[in-house]
Each structure stands twice: as structure tokens, then as C-alpha cells.
Amino acid sequence: MLVRAWRFLTIILAALGTGMALCHALEMPAKLKVDAQQWLTFQHTLYRAFGPEGPGAFIEMGGIITGVVLVILVRKRRPAFYLTLAGATLLAAAFFLVWIPFVSPVNAETAKWTVDSIPGNWMELRRQWEYAHKTRFVLQLIGLGSILLSV
């Protein structure tokens, strides 16, 4: 019963996290066409709930943590173990290998910007932010799929 409940929680959190990443992926084509001021407005207003000010950080970290615990819980069940391990690894990679080095630095930079202080390399930073989020979506989607297949 514990494994079943833990799987359910992991799947829910991973699905919600993948949903947030899907939002970014769907917005990307339009956001790559806007000017600096509009992109900055989006950065300062649209994503508050995705981070520590809202449930987003809890959802993403919750999905990673419950995924790791689920790997431990199913360690003796084959092939569920390998699929769960792959899923948890991909969820963690989306955060630790993509969000931390590529998204977080841009978030920190844009948080300091005003309409009058947008740097000349803003388009490069926008591309980094947008493509990193698209990469995260792919990793999270495959991770969620792996966990679902493990059931």
C-alpha cells in the first residue's frame, strides 16, 4: 500500500512539474518575438507562482524527492526499478543540470533589470532561458513517462 500511495504522489507531483514546463514550452514561440520591455514585463509578472513565491518550487522539488524515495521503495522490483530510476534521474537532471546552471542565472539577472537598465545582450539571455526551459520540458516529460511505465 505504501508503494502504491508513494507512486501516486510522485506521479501527481511529476505531472504538475511537467505541466509548468509545458507552459514555458508553449509560450516560447511568442516570447521569442517580443521586444525587450515586453519580455522583461513577462519575466517580472508571469512566473511568480512557478518559484518560491508560489507552489512551483515545492512541486518540482517534491517530484524529485518523492521520485528518489520511490526508487528506494521499488529497488527489488524489476523492471519497475529501472524505469523509476530513469524517471527520477531525468526529473533531477531537469533541475540540477538545466535549471540551476542555465535558468537560475538568467532569473537572477532579470530580477535586477528595469525598463531603463536592460543590457545589450538581453536577447542572448532570453534565448538561454527559453531553450533551457524547453530542454527541461523534454527531460521532465520523458521522466514522467518512465515513471508511468514503471507502474
The closest of 134, 3, 148 to 88, measured between CA atoms, is 148
**Cα–Cα distance, 23 to 29 (Å, whole number):** 11
The pLDDT confidence band at residue 48, using thresholds 50, 70 and 90, is confident
Average pLDDT for the chain: 95
The stretch 29-35 carries a mean pLDDT of 96
Q: Are 71 and 87 in contact (CB under 8 A)?
A: no
The helix-helix angle for 122-150 and 80-93 (nearest 10°) equals: 170
Reported pTM: 0.94
Instruction: Summarize pLDDT for 105-149 with one digit per residue, the tens.
Output: 999 999 999 999 999 999 999 999 999 999 999 999 999 999 999
Cβ–Cβ < 8 Å for 83, 146? yes
Q: Residue 96 — pLDDT band, cuts 50, 70, 90?
A: very high
Which residue matches cell numbers 507552489? 55
How much is the pLDDT for 53?
80
